[in-house]
Amino acid sequence: MFIDVHNHVIPDSVLRLAERDSRLGISTAAGIWHGPNHVPFPLFPAFHNPELKVNDLAARGLWGAVVSPAPVLFCYDLPTDAAVSLCEASNDGMADFCAYAPDRLHWLANLPMQDPARAAQLYAKAVETGAVGAAVGTSIAGRRLDEPDFEIFWAKADEIGRPVLIHPAFNCAHPALTEWYLQNVIGNPLETTIVVERLICAGVLERHPNVRLLLMHGGGFLPYQTGRLVHARSVRPELADAPENAWDYFGRLYFDTITHDAGALRYLVERVGVDHVVLGTDLPFDMALAQPVQTLTHALDDKQIQAVAADNPRRLFGIG
């Protein structure tokens, strides 16, 4: 029974909140999402209707999903009170969404990361009400997750010990990525690479040994370029205080299967180990793997597919 660990939800509770609170800047007129920090996109029913979500999963050969807030709900540039309201609506809505099929649907908490102390509190509350982990952005509206202010969040994540999904967000600052949707095509994997290498270099993963990270889009450039960081550590004084071998932390990193290339997926499994790769689709966005099972069969053997699509997601999130 295959489980998708990168699948997005925009709960009805958030849509109702957006109608009442203009600070969110969200409109869904004519079924199109308009809001800050993302291009408009169709608000497909599978974003907010759990019956259609389950049906969509089944049609693609999937049993269930660990759903996370769509990155448009990472409203880290909002005032804290508005962000808390949004996250509470998101978490309550995802809990209700997954209650439709609790054996097949599980959810990750949305957190007001612009206030790390409040985010830590809401994370603990969300876990008490059923969250199997948290989802956070790679950038907190320009702030980086390795900055000292976020220690209180990582301490709580370490205490909770559940996976933290890190999804690219607020990655439109590079001027060369403005055309041709390159802010997504290049910017998303670049953001993932940046956030993880910074967390390693700053010692965040060293200080919080129970933190496990789930990385999107095959881990960006990380599996291919970590050797460059290790080499730089051996020759550059700027890295004198960084851990000597970044590869040592890969036992706590998990990578989804979204490489859009069979050869790249085979390399990912070889480089990080089959136990650290999990099925992810990015549904229902248009950059998703629309045929996830077929994608796996083109790249992996049956034993690897069973591990990546069924065994690893269950073990990582403690499901079933």
Contact predicate 271/218, CB 8 Å: no
- The three-state (H, E, C) secondary structure of 203-245, written as one string: CHHHHCCCCCEEECHHHCCHHHHHHHHHHHHHHCHHHCCCCCC
Contact 278, 256 (CB under 8 A): yes
* Alpha carbon distance 261, 240 (integer Å): 36
pLDDT per residue as tens digits for the range 55-83: 999 999 999 999 999 999 999 999 999 99
| Residue of 119, 173, 111 whose CA lies nearest to 141 | 173
d(CA 241, CA 273): 28
pLDDT higher than threshold 90 for residue 130: yes
User: What pTM was estimated for this model as a whole?
Assistant: 0.96
In the predicted model, is pLDDT for residue 38 greater than 90?
no
**Which has the minimum average pLDDT: 132-141, 168-177, 181-190?**
168-177
Q: How confident is the model at residue 174 (pLDDT cuts 50, 70, 90)?
A: confident
DSSP H or E segment with residue 141: none
pLDDT tens for each residue of 179-224:
999 999 999 999 999 999 999 999 999 999 999 999 999 999 999 9
Domains of the chain, first to last = 3-317 (3.20.20.140)
Q: How far apart are CA 303 and CA 204, in angstroms?
A: 34
How far, in Å, CA of 41 to CA of 131, rounded?
27
Q: Is the peptide bond before 284 cis (omega within 30 degrees of 0)?
A: yes
How many CA atoms lie within 13 Å of 244's alpha carbon, on the beta-carbon side? 0
pLDDT at 172: 64
Concatenating the DSSP letter of every residue in 56-83 gives HHHHTT--EEEEEE-GGG--TTS-HHHH
CA distance 156 to 120: 6
Give residue 287's pLDDT.
95
8 A C-beta contact, residue 154 and residue 116: no
The percent of residues above 70 in pLDDT, for the chain, comes to: 100
Q: Residue 249 is encoded by which pair of tokens?
A: 């932390």
Residue 233 contacts residue 249 (beta carbons within 8 Å): no
User: Strand order of the sheet with strand 134-137?
Assistant: 109-110, 134-137, 164-167, 213-215, 253-256, 277-278
Nearest to 68 by CA among 164, 151, 160: 164
For every residue of 27-62, DSSP letters joined together read B-GGGEEB-TTS--EE--GGGT-HHHHHHHHHHTT-
Per-chain mean pLDDT for the chain: 96
